[in-house]
Chain A
Amino acid sequence: MRPAGRSETESLYFKYPHFDAPAIVDRNAEHTAQRVAIVGAGPIGMTAALALAKEGIASVLLDNKATFNDGSRAICIARPSFYILEQLGAIGPFLDKALGWTTGRTFYRGQQILEFEMPDSESEKFRPMYNLQQQYIEQYLWNAVSANDLIDCRWQSEVTGVKDIGDTTELTVRDPHGEYTYDACWVLACDGAHSPMRKLRGHRLRGENFEGRYVIADIQMEHDYPTIRRAYFDPICRPGGTALIHKQPDNIWRIDYQLGDDESTDDALTEDSVRRSVSLLLQEIAYQGNWELEWWSVYTANTLALDDYRDNRIFFVGDSAHIVPIFGVRGLNNGLADAANIGWKLGWVLNGKAGEELLDSYTPERRGATLDVFANASKSARFMTPNTYGWKLMRDAALSLALTHPFAGELANPRQMTAFTYGQSPAVIIDDMPLFDGPAVGALLPDHKLPDGYVSDQLGEGFTVLCFSETLYTALTSVIGRTAKGLCALNLSQYPAVFTAYSADENTAYLIRPDMHIAARWQHATPQKVIDGFQRVTFNLEEAL
């Protein structure tokens, strides 16, 4: 919502573009044979289109609006998401504009009880977290989408029906010129939390609703404070409640505050009430300058997900598949990982580089990630908005004790997002090496600094084998050329520091997937084992060495 007199897309600092509907000739043009339709051009739909395009797969991207989503919504982008954006060639403007941060401070009744640092170091390419308004996220993704010939984006095009016809899925699309059908061989439903696609297919999200309600308000002010997440428990202005403050680019500040049980949502959302609540919190942090109200909204904490992210030839991606609480900032980040995951897999299947069974790993990997998010987020939610007598008493005890004993303050540490480890997936090779303490199978490969860049810069377009000896590297490169399309080898043997980082000796090898997750590891690698492993996780078993 915006102050009286301003429309939903009239921002103090951002100009929302207007997108026309496609011309009739364009939308009736011949399709390519491999037709992937993506429903929804929010951040997740655009990311999915870019991930497919990276594999050379064309898509049509349909969105019912004529511009980006209104309001700044999701503002925290985590490190793993920056790797995704980098791989998709979209990272440039994100690095220029977003505010990186590592520190959080927690206050109880005005006194600081915790300062936490998220893991970061010289050898990390990206900061653990970045703040950037969602409309910039969408704008920068759109820059990459609109520059890509493989993506046919159709604005003002609403999907109103879906039907399975043999091996195709027929979408009914309505735009200002009328209605038409589009036959897709695969569909990615990226149509958001209210997902009409989910409803058209008769699916429901299942899970829990938490009681805490937060008002999220963005204000513009010249406030001199670094990019540090501040959390306030039991502030004077909201006895018993909580509030969060985040810095964003363009002098925009995100203020989240919890509503009390006695406050009605409708009353709390009036402009007067938002202004009053914000100014009381600003008084409490001793800000005395001017400020302008930009945008506000309300948020409740839910942990809801689909049981299966796939229905025949339709995949649910992003908020259409799951809704997670804001604490721990996983809504957007989780969706970006979904999009990258289905993007490379579908691309590999359509290119004939992987068997169709690879697609069956999408639900276990990404639903697994969501359930992990739920476990963490529920923990945070119970600390931020405890909903039973016991949780509340223990939370209050921890906070009160933290005033004098820092160890208790650690209980307030929100433990921000890390990438999920696909430890049980069919698209990794589960191993049993209790004495090997290198990064685990299914984990996102920890990056490492090299004299000239990072390990991640050296990875190939497809799968990459990390080799730690010249011998293995040479042996592998000679067989790969003949047998394994989409696999390349990387020789790390000349970098001693990397051996420690990956607990490697000269016989070690790691197989890295296109999404940078570890598909397999060997302590005694041979070219044969590596090629077999590659064929197994890409479901290309018939190909012999």
Chain B
Amino acid sequence: MNPAELERIYETLAHKLDEVGQGDSELYLAKLVLLLAHSVGDVDVVEKHIADAMHGLKITE
């Protein structure tokens, strides 16, 4: 994925999250993770991303 493509995903997600709104965005993101995980297909890769995404959150500071 090149920078332009990544930017496109970034923008699409921003629009979608605005559309979904705060109330449902967690559910939406959790569904998205399950979908992406299923298409990645490699448990270790997905687990690594799940761990990586923890960095920089309040709990890990």
Number of contacting residues on A, CB 8 A?
10
Contact, CB under 8 Å: B34 / A408: yes
- A-contact 0/1 string along B17-59, CB 8 Å cutoff: 0000000001100110111001000000000000000000000
| Min distance, Cβ B49 to any Cβ of chain A, angstroms | 16
B27 in contact with A398 (CB, 8 Å): no
Asked whether, in the complex, the Cβ of B27 is within 8 Å of the Cβ of A407, the reply is: no
A400–B35 touching, CB < 8 Å: no
Instruction: Check B26 against A405 for contact (C-beta < 8 Å).
Output: no
Is A497 located at the chain interface by the 8 A CB criterion? no
Contact assessment for B38 and A397 in the assembled complex, using a CB-CB cutoff below 8 Å: no
In this complex, how many residues of chain B approach chain A with their Cβ under 8 Å: the count is 8
Contacts of A408 in B (CB 8 A): 34, 38
| Whole-angstrom CA separation of A393 from B24 in the bound complex | 10
- Do B34 and A393 touch (CB < 8 A)? no
**A193 contacts chain B at the CB level, 8 A cutoff:** no
Residues of A within 8 A of B34 (CB): 397-398, 401, 408
Chain B residues whose CB sits within 8 angstroms of the CB of A400 once the complex forms: 27, 31
Smallest beta-carbon distance B58→chain A, Å: 15
Could you tell me the distance in whole angstroms from the C-beta of B21 to the nearest C-beta in chain A? Answer: 15
Q: How far is the CA of A400 from the CA of B33 in the complex (A)?
A: 13
Q: In the assembled complex, how far is the CB of residue B45 from the closest CB belonging to chain A, in whole angstroms? A: 18
* Contact partners of A394 in chain B: CB under 8 A: 30
B47 to chain A, nearest CB (A): 15
Identify 7 new A-B residue pairs, CB closer than 8 A, beyond the known A398-B34, A408-B34, A408-B38: A393-B30, A394-B30, A396-B27, A397-B27, A397-B33, A400-B31, A401-B35
17 contacts between A and B (CB under 8 A): A393-B26, A393-B27, A393-B30, A394-B30, A396-B27, A396-B30, A397-B27, A397-B31, A397-B33, A397-B34, A400-B27, A400-B31, A401-B31, A401-B34, A405-B35, A408-B34, A408-B38
Residues in chain B within 8 A of chain A (CB atoms): 26-27, 30-31, 33-35, 38
- Which A residues lie at the B interface, using CB under 8 A? 393-394, 396-398, 400-401, 405, 407-408
